[in-house]
Structure 1
Amino acid sequence: MLSGVAKRYTSLFLKSIFIISLFIFIIQTFLVYHDHIIGSWYIFKVSSTGLQASLTMTSKIVAIGAILIWFFQVTQVKDIAAAMQNAGWNKKLIFVMLSTMQLIPQMTSMMNTIADAQRSRGVETEGNLITRMKSFVPMLGPVVLTSIEQNEERVLTLESRAFSNRQRPTLMVPVNKTKADYLLSWIIIIIMLGIFYWGVFK
């Protein structure tokens, strides 16, 4: 809410992490059980062990997923790349990480473009589940071929910009850290060390 992305964040969270967590919670609750049965419905049984295992697993998924969704809602990819370069990371490692971050948005945009092209040719891409599945399978081929073609273009673009050069590149996006950034970094390091100490020695 303080970041100003509450509406967009909530919508994305409910469409992704919440659905996955709810599905895993239901499956774990009814499939993992032992002697301590606390409830039953037809052939399904709920035990305290299964309920505890479900809460543990889904809480971890929600915690990690919620943080990642919020992080990418308030941070642009170019700022992440600039911060990594400013910290002296290997540019090949930066490229691999950024490519992974951009993979899903690029595939989604590509799927939408191909779906629009198929609709313009009279192919039904909307309707019930069966109709969508029938239209989804023919789109896989163009998506894979387009991805391969884009990778080749990306390699040529990187080489034209002297990606393989060993010299340090010039930062086009400046990253200016304030005292609050350094203070927050030290606070996070101290907290992580405390969690590590507590988990190992307690």
Structure 2
Amino acid sequence: MTGPVDHVVTSGTFSLDGGTWDVDNNVWIVGDDREVVVVDAAHDADAIAAAVGDRRVSAVVCTHAHDDHVNRAPELADRFGAPILLHPAEAPLWEMTHPDRAPDRELADGDTVTAGGVVLRVLHTPGHSPGSCSLHAPELGTVFTGDTLFQGGPGATGRSFSSFDTIIDSIRERLLTLPGDTTVRTGHGDSTTVGAELPHLEEWIARGQ
């Protein structure tokens, strides 16, 4: 029996601004026994496909377009006949990895993506990158934050197309306003909760300044 949220960790590299780093990515598969969405198709298409199994993939959703989050998106989309969804502000980053293949549909704040009866509401949470989005599933008590919010603080903002002030605004206004028991499922590392991160907001701001 598969759950409403399945999880695969894949390993590879992240490259931007002339640097390359080894990374482990969380890939989230959300839905039921019949239909799912894949959130952030990273590094290993075969491992992701194995976790999907014989379920229908209704969409490959990209929280943002850093190469470690989208490098297997076209392959997975083609394999399962699913559209790739991405916020249009991510176009410059997407084109660095996939110059010859555009996403199929745009994500916008307030959109919903549905699979297997699970409704994911799109929250535009820029800062880590201009079009970074989080996906809130209220009935599951969870939010998928990509690289916007981690256990222990905000995502990195020291590279091109990023802004510390913007990511703090996104976290404060869009994520930390969710119920405190909401599970935060991140793009890398361990999950956390909104309640666990909320008390540390001012510390992050002080560190960032």
Max radius of gyration: which structure?
1
Give the TM-score of the pair, scaled to structure 2. 0.25
Structure with bigger helix share is: 1
Give the TM-score of the pair, scaled to structure 1. 0.26
Structure with bigger strand share is: 2
